[in-house]
Amino acid sequence: MARRCELTGKEPQFGHNVSHSNRKTNRRFDPNLQKITFYSEALRRSVPLRVCTRALRTVQKHGGIDPFLVKMDGAKLAPEGQRLQRLVKKALTGKPQPAKAS
């Protein structure tokens, strides 16, 4: 299983541990991935994903998975995120929008 965020595509980064004697050894900086189940109102089902905590905060800021996917640029999403974005946009365009009260 890849250590990759399914929404943003964030992957491990590489760097060095630097000792007191300035010796450098290789290390990995893994993303903080969490298994989260989002509920999509457009799809009317739960969507389980492995996302990094930064993406989780952004989804919560936008008010859920559906508004996040609608507002996000598709080029910035991972393949799984792009697939979900297409499904959500297709489901939302099929629904009639509720009339706004003036």
Domains in the chain (CATH in brackets) are 13-93 (2.30.170.40)
| pTM of this structure | 0.79
Average pLDDT, the chain: 91
Amino acid identity of residue 73, one-letter, is: D
Q: In 1-102, where does DSSP find H-type helix?
A: 53-62, 65-71, 79-94
Q: Indicate the SS3 state at residue 55.
A: helix
Q: Which residue has the tokens 């998975």?
A: 65
**Residues 36-45: pLDDT tens digits?**
999 999 999 9
Q: Indicate the SS3 state at residue 18.
A: strand
**Residues 11-57: pLDDT tens digits?**
999 999 999 999 999 999 999 999 999 999 999 999 999 999 999 99
